Copies of this chain bind each other. A is one copy, B any other.
Amino acid sequence: MMPHFSYKTSKKDLQRRGTLDTPHGSIQTPFFMPIATRGAVKQVTIDELKGLGASIILSNTYHLFQRPGLEILKKFNGLHSFMGWDGPILTDSGGYQVFSLSKMRKITDEGVRFQSEIDGREIFLTPESVIETQLTIGSDILMVLDECPPWPCTREEAEKAVKRTIAWATRSKVYFEKRMKQKRIAPEKRPLVFGIVQGSTFLDLRKRCVEELSKLDFDGYAIGGVAVGEGMEDKQTIIKAIAPLLPADKPRYLMGLGKPEEIVFAVQNGVDMFDCVIPTREARHGQLYVRKGAITKKSFYETIKIGNEKYKFDKKPIDPHCPCYTCTHHSRAYLRHLFSINEGLALRLATLHNLAFYLDLMKELRK
């Protein structure tokens, strides 16, 4: 098989600059994936996403499985055609959602049994079924089912989760390869499948997880179970210790992170891929990003709360240097007004800006 990832490493730190090939096109790394949990980035059209420079989006297997459901996705021959996005899509396995959203769940070595929080029906997920669902979705990058322990957890709990994560990853890979053979997928149409490293804050457990997963020769490796409640220091310790251990010739993905400075930190430690709800969620709460200077500065940005009284008469755009639609068309005062009357356009304009901030940050990091 052809290598799907090529990269160069920076001379001064561990930062990498690369290209990741997927069935729906090549992506320049490091990159950030806007979140389209249920097949739509909230408030934003596909043309806008492209205009902002988004090269890949993330959707969620667990949420798509529930709504719209596989029956519809099958009829549409997958999510790309259903939502009208022709670029790459990565799907999260849903492991995190099962563990964080569902109260009624039972984990066995076989899989996870839980009740849908939407219609109460019982769902049984296995590593195999989760891969199969992602094949139905038509993902370009599939994530394996993992067990994400809560934070804090005991060493024993973390160890158990790592063991199960490795076992499930193994089954996932075997099943994936079997299905690729059955489906006779051409090499350039073959999706990628990524393993996920767990182990909570126990670095030796995470290292063991890396070693075992590396043997399975995944197409990429993710650090999971970070930003689940632990502090900044713990996060940094994990990133710094684990990212460089992940196979260098494969893309490295830090799941669910993070704040801009966390992304910069992770990139400097050799991480290539990111996703996070922060820019879009904060936008909907009127929390907007303003760049303050070079990334090398400690505080290279600030966030402003647009609802604040002090922006009432402010004719400046959110960020005078930002090239996004919102900043080139509207003032802070107008945005504040739109938020004050609960106008949907406010959420949209704010989301466009925050996504532009994140995607421009990635552009800069790629330079």
Contacts and interface: CB of A to CB of B under 8 A. Distances in A.
A40 interface: yes
A110 interface: no
A331 to B, nearest CB: 8
Given A75-B313, A313-B75, A344-B348, A45 B337 contact: no
A334 interface: yes
A315 B76 contact: yes
Interface residues of A, number: 37
Interface string A67-89: 11000100110000011100000
Contacts of A255: none
Contacts of A41: 345
Given A45-B325, A329-B46, A333-B72, A344 B344 contact: yes
A206 B82 CA distance: 54
A329 to B, nearest CB: 5
A136 B20 CA distance: 56
Contacts of A337: 38-39, 67-68, 72, 82
A45 B325 CA distance: 10
A279 to B, nearest CB: 16
Contacts of A343: 38, 40, 42
Contacts of A329: 45-47, 84
A76 B341 contact: no
Contacts of A82: 331, 333-334, 337
Interface of A: 38-47, 67-68, 72, 75-76, 82-84, 312-313, 315, 325, 329-331, 333-334, 337-338, 340-341, 343-345, 347-349
17 contacts: A38-B343, A39-B334, A40-B343, A40-B345, A41-B345, A42-B344, A43-B344, A43-B348, A45-B329, A45-B349, A68-B333, A68-B340, A72-B312, A76-B333, A82-B333, A84-B329, A344-B347
